[in-house]
Amino acid sequence: MRFTKMHGCGNDYVYVDCFRQRPPVDPAALSRVVSDRHFGIGADGLILICPSDRADARMRMFNADGSEAEMCGNGIRCVAKYVFDHGLARKSPLMIETGRGVLTLELETVDGKVAHVRVDMGEPILEAASIPTTLAAPRVVNELLPSGLLDLGQPWVAESGLEPRVTCVSMGNPHAVLYCRDVAKVPLAAVGPVLEHAAIFPRRSNVHFVQVHHAGEATMRTWERGSGITLACGTGACAVCVAGVLTERSARRLLAHLPGGDLRLHWSESDGRVYMTGPAVEVFHGEWPGTT
């Protein structure tokens, strides 16, 4: 199986061109194997670039644990780069089919190759039942975490300045956003799994801790559903932009600093849609010898 390794702000995936070769028989199992950073290729998951009868291409995304996700903001930028750079569709904008629907992507090229991509991520989903979360509010904005979910007596809570309130947003996949004074003090590897698998999230959740510098700038760290700690999360950055407006912590235009790089977000007041701009990078090509 031929593959391409790509990343967006360090959020890396193994990409398989299913236009030019047969798709894997069991992509969930394949994702678990190739994502292993010691015995596989090493990635946050697997993304299939498939033909579509609705768009220029269709993206299917599998987390490192094999679970299929609806959407991946960093992943879709790389899909657009692959589709353009490898001649599947040499145009801009591109239309890519996802579990969230068909999204529009505008390409910024340098020397005939895609460098940055602006994605129309659509309108955020804010109704609690549609995210989904069982927290008892029509919209979960700055709601107190259920008692006992986190041990708020732990030293890291005071050290990080964590506010034990959550804002929930879906960008086609579920996100929980929490704010603190210092994101570096959050023990993400310990806290992330607890919140991802909390009963209040029936389909689990991506979890983000955010430190606001001023209305137009914030730093975030992410625990991704099914993948763990990642260097970036595009849909998560969009959710953080939306959550910042809803909680009156940040503006509709936000520069988000993630461990792997920066993303520019805009939650448009005129059409209600979230726009994300960031890089897409091709790392290397290879051939996976295992069965697919």
Q: Which of 9, 72, 168, 180 is catalytic?
A: 72
Question: Would you give the DSSP letter of residue 164?
Answer: -
CA distance 80 to 59: 10
By DSSP bridging, strand 113-120 and strand 101-110 are antiparallel
Q: Which of 9, 168, 180, 233 is catalytic?
A: 233
**Joined tokens for residue 225:** 């559903």
φ, ψ of residue 129 in degrees (nearest 5): -65, -25
DSSP for 195-239 reads: HHT-TT-TT--EEEEEEEEETTEEEEEEEETTTEEES--HHHHHH
CA distance 115 to 278: 9
CA distance 75 to 60: 10
Indicate if 9 belongs to the active site. Answer: no
What is the b/e burial string over 126-144, where b = at least 16 CB atoms within 10 angstroms of the residue's CB? bebeebbbebeeeebbbbe
Indicate if 18 belongs to the active site. Answer: no
**224 closest CA partner among 158, 173, 149:** 173
DSSP for 75-121 reads: HHHHHHHHHHHTTS---SSEEEEETTEEEEEEEEEETTEEEEEEEE-
To the nearest 10°, the Cα dihedral for 79, 81, 87, 93? 90
**Tally of CB atoms within 10 A around 106:** 15
Q: Active-site residue numbers?
A: 72, 233
